[in-house]
Amino acid sequence: MLHPQTQALLASIEKSAIPPMHTLSPAEARRVYRERRFSVQPAPPAIGEVTDLIAASPSGPVSARMYRPIDAAPMDAALLPVLVFFHGGGWVIGDLDTHDTLCRELANASGCAVIAVDYRLAPEQPFPAAFDDCVAATEWVRVHAVSLGLDPHRMAVGGDSAGGNLAAAVAIAQRDAGTPLAFQLLIYPATDQRGGTPSHVSNGQGYLLTTDTMNYYRDHYVSDPSDHLDWRASPILCPDLTGLPAALVLTAGYDPLRDEGLYYAQRLSDSGCVTTYVCFERQIHGFILMGKVIDEAHSAVAFCAGELRRALTAPSAGT
């Protein structure tokens, strides 16, 4: 059964007659998403330091934003572990500002630095542009970690929804490049562009993220059906998931993507990866951003941050 606060939110959205995302142009969808966040997101907490960055990539500069936790030691006193974070939004919407509060919360609660990546969006820049930017930004952080006050041996990737998809794919790419990461934080990740899981059917209508909206996002990002089979778009189709970092996979019970997360977590476990799977049974897709109106969002953030802290705050070799 849906959480009462989530039921109230969905009823309010239905009464407001807000147009579904899939009926809007990408530009309009981005504007609506940015503006609507204030109605559900809590106020951004104070943070130790926020720094805008530019990461170099083969395709050009990639904007990023670094958050240092409020209780962090001075930059020259100790190297912080770091989470490289990729925002959600179906590879079409979302930016550094839409996920600013979540990044601040994760940094403060985990004691880790967070670097959010402003990757290129579809349809202007379709697959694999977002993946390429996220790989390049992650590698840039690794190379420049010490100068940024970060520990290159204690790096994680993470993201929500489309960002979880990108984080999972980047973790595979980093393993293949011989620079494996320490952890992956996958918040209701999209892992299979083919769709068709039971939760796609049972949760495809009435719970904010609908089948039509998912198809809208997917078709903008991976319009060629043959790309659905590419592990960079569908990480669950990677034939070999061994040697990947420990993972937390978090899902929501009324999310169409629930089973994609569950099945990916199972594949990680079957491949020998230390994997924790948690489902917030009474919640919907996107709820972790909605702490202003859904109390369980705070529980989810705290759990994610706790797993980050546990995985990353042990001193690394040579520090």
- Report whether 155 contacts 84 (CB < 8 A): yes
Half-sphere CA count of 4, side-chain side, radius 13 A: 0
Residues contacting residue 112 through CB under 8 Å, at least 6 positions apart = 69, 80, 81, 82, 83, 106, 156, 308, 309, 312, 313
Selection from 249, 120, 108 nearest residue 191 by Cα? 249
255 is catalytic: yes
Active-site annotation holder among 3, 87, 200, 285:
285
**Tokens, residue 255:** 């999310």
Active-site annotation holder among 118, 133, 255, 259:
255
Active-site annotation holder among 57, 161, 199, 234:
161
71 is catalytic: no
Half-sphere CA count of 247, side-chain side, radius 13 A: 37
Dist CA 284 CA 125 (whole Å): 28
285 is catalytic: yes
Catalytic residues: 161, 255, 285
